[in-house]
Chain A
Amino acid sequence: MTTATANRAIAVPAVGVRIEQVNLSYGDNHVLKSIDLDIRPGEFFAFLGPSGCGKTTLLRLIAGFNHADSGRVLVGEKDISALPPWKRDIGMVFQSYALWPHMTVARNVAFGLEEKRVPRAEIGPRVTAALELVGLTGLDQRRPAQLSGGQQQRVALARTIAVEPKLLLLDEPLSNLDAKLRVQVRRELRELQQRLGLTTIFVTHDQEEANTVCDRIAVMNQGVIQQVGTPKDLYEQPANLFVANFLGTANIVEGRVIGDGASRAFEVAGGLKIPIAADRKLAPGARMVFRPQDCAIVGAGQSAGPDRTEAAGTVTYREFLGASVRYGVRAGTASIAVDCPFHAGDTLHEVGTAVTVAIATSSVRFLSD
């Protein structure tokens, strides 16, 4: 069987998903708060957030296992809020894979086709095609327990895409795999999704997974969507402190705004002072945010450029990471993490020595909660 047949078996026009004003509470626990979301046809989309942020609840709501108190979910412009799970035509790969232990791999994959009353003659070839698509040819008579974790994960995927769902939901699909396999499988997932052009939603708490696989990400916290954007957008222009902190490492420094006009600046107690353009709007209580790689330890007295703010401090810790060294520097009341690239032969700064930190002024953002 060729890949062409396999692809033909799973040819479904891509649909978009729209979530409108969805609210969900369990008793006093408000799990989802006014969720609005637009997912484009064919997009690989991620719900990213810490555990308990509501991302899995939202995914299960789309699949029909949770019910919103208010709001609605549209798939391809059709309101599916009132449909039971078995009428939704939305494929879901469960975190635990949920393979039925009393059935062989082939029976597992055939299940959905049988339930959808696909003619008997078609089921066999479609099972074979789905298994081929995930690279599991020849294992169809095995029981799930006889497969490795990675293989089980593929069977779960094959079982879902065999029914040609309109939408594919992946609930932390990589969390039960070991680190090496995870990298491999996520590449394969991306490849498969691109090949099928299937709108896919991926739930994860791992920013690296979301960044590497997905087109766009919705960052969630405490039942609220914090920001939606491409991985690059989210990293470069986080909308608030939570996003800045959740994606990558960020230096978050408290201080206050002083002066106005040309001398307007953000001042940190104990020395550091960053100029702010007069027209830049700052929310009250905003903090200064910059990445560890956007600052450096420089020799004292080196000329400061226009895009550079310097602060004197003391090294408080040192972590050798190989390609770089991370220093903790205490400058006034601020603790700053500084990443310095490491080259062979470099000498390292000792803990306790006085250093000067230079921050790239243009990289600094001012964010609030």
Chain B
Amino acid sequence: MTMALPAPRARARLSATPGQIALALGIAVFLALFLVWPSATVIYVAFTEKGGGAFTLVNFADFFRTDLFLRSFWNSFYVSAMAVAGASILALPLAYITSRFAFRGTALIQTLGFLPLIMPPFVGAVAMQLFFGRNGSVNLLLDDAFGFKIPFMEGLNGVIFVQSIHYFPFILINLSAALRNIDASMEEAAQNLGSSGFRLFRRIVFPLAMPGYIAGASLVFVKVFDDLATPLLLNVKDMLAPQAYLRVTSIGIADPMGYVIAVVLIVASVAAMALSALATRGIDYSTVQRGGGGLARRKLRPYESVLAYLTVMLILLLVLAPHAGLLLLSFSTVWSFSPLPDGYTISHYARIFGESSLYIKNTLIYASLAGLIDVVLGTAIAYLVLRTRLVGRDMLDWAASAALAVPGIVLGIGYLRAFYGVKLWDGTPLASWIVIVLALATRRLPYALRACYAALQQISVSLEEAAENLGATKLRTVRRIVTPLMMGGMLAGFVTSFATAAVELSATLMLVQSNSDAPLAYGLYVLMQSAAGRGPGAALGVIAVLLVGVCTVLSHFVIERGRAMPQAGH
């Protein structure tokens, strides 16, 4: 072999293999078609003249000239802010008690933390009417005993009440995690320098936990702002999401006002998220120090203990009210103007499993397909972002996560506009159940993506390099090393997507074209509209809660097991 070859030569460094490029393009096409295009359509229509194609701000001017819309905007804002306040009132004591004290009820509080989430808020709304409505159990009893009623559920109050109870876990979970991540040495250093008690809490603990609280609060704000079904079921129409829905369904798909409202919803969502990101920038220290087992916990004195248990019990009662109400309703013959149902029956369940089993079957199919799509896309995006140097890979991640900022109703309107009348190759209209699955998959992709991302991030790159070093190609390494190690995270991602897609209504409410294509949440919504349908609706609701509950427990179990499995190679 001759050594006379010119040794130094520039080698073109390929940023990725052809397979990776094809994968990235495929994902990009999916996101463009099913997220960007529908959302862009909505924005486009809002800014163009009706009938013509010219750019105009006239629609927005109309929006701000119409009292109803201005009132709706203000109401949405007011309800969201009050719901954040209500959720904080429920979450703060719980987070404080569990993180600062050796409290036996900690497991109980952790259960509280996810109980509300397994029930769609609009389902809980009906049950809450029965307990807290004008003629609900509580007010009937109050009226009997003291001669007055409390308007828990009147108008906007009802929405605030239901949403606070439903969404407080977001604050509880985020705040507890933030408190857990504070290194005990932070507190000890302050004590060593002479600080204690409330001053210590105010000057050290609270600032360190602030980012967690803000993250949770902004999430609650956005969720409440975008929610469609809860106000609709409580018959509150002068809020933004219901207005958008009513414009599109009653006046028509061509009416620009629905689109304008959708744009306002998007702007509000993005603004709330941007504000929270801005507020936490520079004060999020969680990555600076390594967790040292959290803050020291002090034993409660007897009277404190009683106080703590009372607080927890009160919140537990509130949290369980929708569940209990739903269960009672599903077994009751008639329940109105009385604290408890007049009689009990199981006929509602018989009816649900008879004629309404279609809803359940549809939901299982849609949610499974959506979960599957999400896990495949989530894994692929995570791999491209974390393991390749493909140009624009961060854009994929960013685009997929942007689905979080698109309210369900906006996506629903966008799908309707973009895919209405589109036919597949065999003549079936795209705007059938397929569109519902795609909408669900797009909506839930960020959840699955984060789960897959976290799972892949935990796998040390050297585990893959070792496989390549021993002769395995990239594809075989993915199959034999990456996939088995990511399995837990992928499963958790699937279950999260599945469980949340199973009770999604905002996006699907508009996309259901025929009753035979309807998922469970839609059926629930339709049934709950009429007094006669409330019993069977409640039965369907119980089934939905069970479905989501089982999934949540399952995913919790999977994640815990994944955590328990020691990871070599770190």
Report yes or no: A144 in contact with B11, Cβ–Cβ below 8 A: no
Report yes or no: A69 in contact with B566, Cβ–Cβ below 8 A: no
Could you give, for residues 81-118 of chain A, a 1 whenever the CB lies within 8 Å of some chain B CB and a 0 otherwise? 11011111111101111111110000000011001100
Residue in B1, B7, B485 with the greatest tally of chain A CB atoms within 10 Å: B7
Report yes or no: A96 in contact with B569, Cβ–Cβ below 8 A: yes
Indicate whether A319 reaches chain B with its CB closer than 8 angstroms. no
Indicate whether A204 reaches chain B with its CB closer than 8 angstroms. no
Could you give, for residues 449-493 of chain B, a 1 whenever the CB lies within 8 Å of some chain A CB and a 0 otherwise? 000000000001011011111111100100011001100000000
Report yes or no: B465 in contact with A111, Cβ–Cβ below 8 A: no
A100 and B567 CA atoms in complex are apart in Å by: 8
A-B pair count, CB < 8 Å, reads: 113
Indicate whether B13 reaches chain A with its CB closer than 8 angstroms. yes
A82 and B567 CA atoms in complex are apart in Å by: 33
Nearest chain A CB to B87 CB, angstrom units: 39
Instruction: Point out the residue from B3, B467, B570 that lies within 8 Å of A111, measured CB to CB.
Output: B467
Given contact pairs A100-B481, A100-B485, A163 touches B470 in the complex (Cβ within 8 A): yes
Indicate whether A251 reaches chain B with its CB closer than 8 angstroms. no
Report yes or no: A115 in contact with B472, Cβ–Cβ below 8 A: yes
Report yes or no: A71 in contact with B463, Cβ–Cβ below 8 A: no
- Classify chain A's interface size: 35 or more
Instruction: Point out the residue from A84, A94, A101 that lies within 8 Å of B466, measured CB to CB.
Output: A94
CB closest residue in chain B, given A91? B469
CB closest residue in chain A, given B466? A98
Nearest chain B CB to A123 CB, angstrom units: 13
Instruction: Please provide the chain B residues from 553 to 570 with a CB less than 8 Å away from any CB of chain A in the complex.
Output: 565-570
Indicate whether A65 reaches chain B with its CB closer than 8 angstroms. yes
Instruction: Point out the residue from B7, B460, B566 that lies within 8 Å of A71, measured CB to CB.
Output: B7
A248 and B476 CA atoms in complex are apart in Å by: 46
- Classify chain B's interface size: 20 to 34
Indicate whether A28 reaches chain B with its CB closer than 8 angstroms. no
Instruction: Please provide the chain A residues from 54 to 91 with a CB less than 8 Å away from any CB of chain B in the complex.
Output: 63-65, 67-72, 77-78, 81-82, 84-91
Instruction: Please provide the chain A residues from 229 to 249 with a CB less than 8 Å away from any CB of chain B in the complex.
Output: none
Nearest chain A CB to B482 CB, angstrom units: 10
Report yes or no: B471 in contact with A97, Cβ–Cβ below 8 A: no
Report yes or no: B7 in contact with A152, Cβ–Cβ below 8 A: no
Report yes or no: A85 in contact with B7, Cβ–Cβ below 8 A: no
Instruction: Point out the residue from A68, A78, A85, A101 that lies within 8 Å of B469, measured CB to CB.
Output: A85
Chain A neighbourhood of B565, CB < 8 A: 101, 145
Residue in B3, B9, B480, B569 with the greatest tally of chain A CB atoms within 10 Å: B569
Report yes or no: B466 in contact with A21, Cβ–Cβ below 8 A: no
Indicate whether A140 reaches chain B with its CB closer than 8 angstroms. no
Instruction: Point out the residue from B11, B468, B567 that lies within 8 Å of A70, measured CB to CB.
Output: B11
CB closest residue in chain A, given B10? A70
Report yes or no: A72 in contact with B7, Cβ–Cβ below 8 A: yes
Nearest chain A CB to B132 CB, angstrom units: 51
Indicate whether B8 reaches chain A with its CB closer than 8 angstroms. yes
What would 20 more interface pairs be, CB under 8 Å, given A70-B7, A145-B567? A20-B3, A21-B8, A23-B8, A63-B465, A65-B468, A70-B9, A77-B1, A86-B471, A86-B473, A88-B469, A91-B470, A95-B462, A97-B568, A102-B485, A111-B480, A115-B472, A144-B568, A145-B565, A145-B568, A163-B471
What are 20 A-B interface contacts by the 8 Å CB criterion? Answer: A20-B3, A64-B469, A69-B10, A69-B13, A81-B11, A86-B470, A94-B465, A97-B568, A97-B569, A98-B463, A98-B466, A98-B568, A99-B466, A100-B463, A100-B466, A100-B467, A100-B485, A101-B565, A101-B569, A115-B470
